[in-house]
């Protein structure tokens, strides 16, 4: 129970970094969840994050699983609320005044400027995740196969990830 305020702080803070998507927050999540609070080991965080890619809906709902590991059901609820409500309120507010900003010339500048930065942060997050997850030739093969499968076919991505689990069970023990 005593961890709940820390869970709220960490995930509330991380949510503010998710410009353009959740991946941008991954490097900072690693440092807070693993190095600062010792809630999970790094391999555990990678596992939970990856399982989160199979979950339906928003692909960062894995924060609920981290909260659950730290503090049970209340931890899961607090993590999800802290992660989704503050940015939600911001979006709600900006959405309401968006039209009034139409003639503010910096609105266009902000949109154009942040677009590549968001991609860069997502790539940086993916590199951080990849350094932890790609450890040998089998994992290189799985990642490449899923990369190509996603770009070239219309297979449900959750199924591709399940195939990764099967390959792992056979070849990564």
Partner 1 sequence: MSESVKPSAAAPAVASKEVPPVLDVFLTFLIIGATSFGGAVVAYLRSSLVGKKKWLDDTHFLELMSISNTLPGLNATNMSILVGDRLRGTVGAAAALIGMCLPGFIFMTVAGIMYGENGDRPIVTAMLKGVAAAAVGLISATWFQIGKKSVKGFYDAFFILAAVLAVNHFKVSVPIVLIGVGALAIFTNRPGKQRQKEALSEWISSLR
Q: Is position 58 an interface residue for partner 1 (rule: CB under 8 A)? A: yes
Measured in whole angstroms, the distance separating CA 105 from the mean position of its chain's CA atoms is: 32
* Whole-number Å distance between alpha carbons of 135 and 147: 17
For residues 92-111, which are near partner 1 according to CB under 8 A? 92, 94-96, 98-99, 102, 105-106, 108-111
Give least dist CB 6 to partner 1, A.
17
Question: Closer to partner 1 at the Cβ: 2 or 173?
Answer: 173
**CA 22, 118, 82 angle in degrees (round to 5)?**
35
3-state secondary structure at position 153: coil
Question: Closer to partner 1 at the Cβ: 5 or 113?
Answer: 113
Site string for partner 1, 10-39 (x = CB under 8 A): -----xxxxxxxxxxx-xx--x--------
**CA 51, 40, 44 angle in degrees (round to 5)?**
35
Q: Is position 2 an interface residue for partner 1 (rule: CB under 8 A)? A: no
Give least dist CB 63 to partner 1, A.
8
Question: Closer to partner 1 at the Cβ: 2 or 170?
Answer: 170
- Positive or negative, the Cα torsion across 159, 165, 168, 170? negative
């Amino acid at each position: 129970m005593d961890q709940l305020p820390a869970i709220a702080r960490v995930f509330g803070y991380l949510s503010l970094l998710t410009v353009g998507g959740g991946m941008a927050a991954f490097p900072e999540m690693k440092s807070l969840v693993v190095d600062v609070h010792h809630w999970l080991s790094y391999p555990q965080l990678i596992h939970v994050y990856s399982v989160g890619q199979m979950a339906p809906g928003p692909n960062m709902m894995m924060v609920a699983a981290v909260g659950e590991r730290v503090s049970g059901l209340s931890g899961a609820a607090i993590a999800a609320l802290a992660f989704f409500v503050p940015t939600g309120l911001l979006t709600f507010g900006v959405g309401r005044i968006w039209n009034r900003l139409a003639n503010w010339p910096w609105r266009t500048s902000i949109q154009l400027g942040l677009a590549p930065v968001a991609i860069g942060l997502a790539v940086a997050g993916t590199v951080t995740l990849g350094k932890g997850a790609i450890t040998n030739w089998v994992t290189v093969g799985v990642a490449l196969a899923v990369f190509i499968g996603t770009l070239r076919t219309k297979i449900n991505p959750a199924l591709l990830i399940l195939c990764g689990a099967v390959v792992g069970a056979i070849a990564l023990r």
